[in-house]
Structure 1
Amino acid sequence: MHGFADAPDDWTKEALRELEANQDNGRVGQQLVSETPLVRVWMINLEPGERLPFHRHVLNYFWTALLPGRARSRYGDGSVRLYEYERGETLHLHFPGGSSMAHDLTNIGDTPIAFVTVEFLDSPNRPLGL
């Protein structure tokens, strides 16, 4: 994942309202494809211009890019970042008790992007509802 410098301010009133309304949104992907007592496995497939709404990560997890592409995320701390993903690229994220991350994801490229995300249910934080 190659992060670019902070993107221009992309915060609209609608985006701020959506972020506020989704503080407890635990749907970190488009489709929950598997859940066991240990993990939740999500798929994300975004066509150019499509967007995954704001959601909050509280569980330790990793994602793997299934396709290369470009995306933008707006974060709950107000930052906006642009990313370029390579096929097979993987990132592991950890959230100690009481910590979390809220963001959205928009495909800003010319080709589809896709990810698999695996959340670990035995993380320090309790899972958010779906």
Structure 2
Amino acid sequence: MTITEINPIGNFDSWDEARLKEIKDEKFSLDIGKILFENKELKLWQIELKPFERLPFRHHKNNYSCISFTDGLALSRNINGQIILLRLQKGDHFYRECAEIEMITDFENVGEDPIKIAIVEELVEAKHKAKNRL
């Protein structure tokens, strides 16, 4: 996976009005895609996006792992202004820790081919951390 920053944090000059309105309205989802499996420790999500389909802004509260089942080109906007371009290759994977930071992003297939991704969201870690904060 190649990640290229195409807009820096704090710069909203290139953002369209529809995306800025979504942020202003603060109606963020916790859903990542379609749930394939869930227990008290994890959720297995699947994202399938046709060309130019987009997932709206969603709030990431738990750490997660991601694997791409297809090649593809995607755009992700963060409500902090940053926009990144992701060049996915089949088999690409990564792990992201976000249980202790606010991360609200969207995800859009900007390529000509469908994108298929699986995400394993860790539920235990977030609950454990929240419990230890009390």
Give yes or no for the alignment of 1:13 onto 2:20.
no
The TM-score normalised by the length of structure 1 is 0.85
Equivalent residues in 2 for 1:1-80 (5 A)?
Answer: 1-7=1-7, 10-22=14-26, 24-29=28-33, 31-80=34-83
Deviation per CA, 1:93-122, whole angstroms, max 9, x where unpaired?
11243x121111111111111100110101
Distance 1:25 1:121 in 2: 16
Distance 1:90 1:26 in 2: 21
**Which residue identity is paired with 1:4?**
T
Question: What residue is the counterpart of 2:94 in the other structure?
Answer: 91
Q: Could you list the runs of 5+ residues in structure 1 that have no partner in the other structure? A: none
2:7 touches 2:81 (CA, 8 Å); kept in 1? no
Distance 2:25 2:35 in 1: 21
Q: Could you list the runs of 5+ residues in structure 2 that have no partner in the other structure? A: none
2:58 touches 2:106 (CA, 8 Å); kept in 1? yes
Distance 1:89 1:58 in 2: 22
Query: The residue matched to 1:25 in structure 2 has which SS?
Result: coil
How much is the aligned-residue C-alpha RMSD, in angstroms?
A: 2.0
- State percent identity of aligned pairs: 29
Instruction: Return the structure number with greater helix share.
Output: 2
Question: What residue is the counterpart of 1:115 in the other structure?
Answer: 117
Distance 2:61 2:27 in 1: 11
Distance 1:20 1:118 in 2: 29
**Which residue identity is paired with 1:108?**
V
CA shift for structure 1 position 10: 4.5
Change (3 A) 1:48 1:10: farther
How many residue pairs were aligned? Answer: 124
Q: Which of these residues, 101, 104, 126, is aligned with residue 103 of structure 2? A: 101
CA shift for structure 1 position 23: 5.4
Distance 1:67 1:17 in 2: 31
**Which residue identity is paired with 1:111?**
D
